[in-house]
A = this chain, B = another copy of it.
Amino acid sequence: MRDVSIVGIGQTKVGEHWELSLKELATHAILDAIKDAKIDRVDSLYVGNMLSGELTGQEHIGALVSDFAGLRGVEAIKIEAACGSGAAALRVGYVAVAGELSDFVIVCGVEKMTDRPGEQVTAGLATAADGDFEAQQGISFVAINALLMRRYMYTHNVLHEAFAPFAINAHKNAVNNPNAMFPYAITAADFKKAKMIAEPINLLDSSPVCDGAAALVLCPTEIARRFIDTPVRIRACAIGTDSIALHDRRDILKLEGAAISATKAYTQAGVGPQDIDLFEVHDAFTIMSVLSLEACGFAEHGQATRLGLDGQIGIEGKVPLTTMGGLKARGHPVGATGVYQIVEVVQQLRGQAGQNQVAEAQLGMAQNIGGSGATVITTILESLA
């Protein structure tokens, strides 16, 4: 097994790209990443995507994207793990380079959601839930998260307003991200009066439906400096799983898949949550940030909202979160999100995060979650600059 680094990143702006198709979005991100890395060879391409079949009528996007991006012939496949598809593709790419089966790998996450009516998107997202026991009973994916949030508030005696800092922080950081979908600040008052979606989840607890693509170039660390002065080493990339259906979990407020994934990653990297300089948390809903932080050891169970209320999640806080806007404000093109998170950690570790730069960031973490916690991928990255 050999060490792996990221030597190139690319991304499109997140938003409603009615003028760009899935393969065009993916190609923009891939070509940006290749240009950034200045590589002249690609061995394989792993495309993270959830809903190309349901929302664009196109499967087989590994070959499609590879051809359109000028990479015809290379190994190319699609990786799917619901909203965790992007980082699952990174895991496959990481294994290929670490295991010495590929030298130059492109990992791309892409999703195209906004060309379809909302009810079709809602039905598509519900395919991340258990078809027999959840989706078929008529519950939407937002409603599943609402059950979790309601239970959390009841069990831990937490008010809805305690979740506001996660959304406020994400929007504040998005202001300085030119690729963010919602680059504007919100206030506690905005959060309080936001439209209810599925009680207690309101519009500002929720990440948006959107389009986007992000890409990475991976290669062995031993040759990374040939391409870039600031390679970012993948210290760990690990997957844990849990039941899809909430009723099958031992404790619905403890994300066991996230705990397994984070424990594997910490062990592989030889670090703990106290060593992490910034954390790209999977804030699809504010409740998911809270459960993820607790599963990863950044807070005791029932305590994660304290991090926000105590001002510890900002760029200068103890645990900077969603430093470029997160799923909430950068946007959540579901199968692409896991790759966007990694691109942003790389920006931080290269010192390229502009006004959102976390001072002296050496070790960054991202956690990408599929469904309501059934597939969780934790990645720990280290600056080699």
**Is A371 a contact of B60 with CB atoms below 8 Å?**
yes
A32 interfacial by beta-carbon distance below 8 Å: no
The number of residues on chain A lying at the interface, defined by a beta carbon within 8 Å of a beta carbon of chain B, is: 63
A241 interfacial by beta-carbon distance below 8 Å: yes
Copies of this protein, total: 2
Near B by CB (< 8 A), chain A positions 215-241 give 238-241
A127 interfacial by beta-carbon distance below 8 Å: yes
A113 interfacial by beta-carbon distance below 8 Å: no
A66 interfacial by beta-carbon distance below 8 Å: yes
The A interface is mostly helix, strand or loop, or mixed, namely: mixed
Q: In the complex, what residues of B have CB within 8 A of residue A74's CB?
A: 241
| CA of A67 to CA of B238, assembled, Å | 18
| CA of A95 to CA of B79, assembled, Å | 15
A76 interfacial by beta-carbon distance below 8 Å: yes
Digitize A234-270: 1 where CB-to-B-CB distance is under 8 Å, 0 elsewhere.
0000111111100010000000110010000000000
**Is A62 a contact of B95 with CB atoms below 8 Å?**
no
| CA of A294 to CA of B56, assembled, Å | 34
A319 to chain B, nearest CB (A): 26
| CA of A75 to CA of B136, assembled, Å | 26
A287 interfacial by beta-carbon distance below 8 Å: no
Q: In the complex, what residues of B have CB within 8 A of residue A126's CB?
A: 57
Q: In the complex, what residues of B have CB within 8 A of residue A371's CB?
A: 60, 63
| CA of A101 to CA of B100, assembled, Å | 11
A64 interfacial by beta-carbon distance below 8 Å: yes
Q: In the complex, what residues of B have CB within 8 A of residue A34's CB?
A: none
Q: In the complex, what residues of B have CB within 8 A of residue A53's CB?
A: 51, 53-54, 124, 127
| CA of A109 to CA of B242, assembled, Å | 21
A136 to chain B, nearest CB (A): 8
Near B by CB (< 8 A), chain A positions 114-150 give 123-124, 126-132, 135-136
Q: In the complex, what residues of B have CB within 8 A of residue A370's CB?
A: 60, 63
A380 interfacial by beta-carbon distance below 8 Å: no
Near B by CB (< 8 A), chain A positions 80-113 give 80-82, 88, 91-92, 95-96, 98-101
Q: Which residue of B lies closest to A52 (CB)?
A: B127
A180 to chain B, nearest CB (A): 26
A77 interfacial by beta-carbon distance below 8 Å: yes
**Is B80 a contact of A59 with CB atoms below 8 Å?**
yes
Q: In the complex, what residues of B have CB within 8 A of residue A242's CB?
A: 63, 67, 72-73
Q: In the complex, what residues of B have CB within 8 A of residue A54's CB?
A: 53-54, 59
- Further contacts, 17 of them, CB under 8 A, given A1-B100, A73-B241, A95-B101: A53-B53, A58-B127, A58-B131, A59-B80, A60-B80, A62-B375, A63-B243, A67-B241, A73-B260, A77-B79, A77-B80, A77-B88, A77-B92, A78-B81, A79-B80, A96-B99, A98-B99
Could you write out 7 A-B pairs with CB less than 8 Å apart?
A53-B54, A57-B127, A60-B80, A60-B375, A77-B81, A77-B375, A99-B99
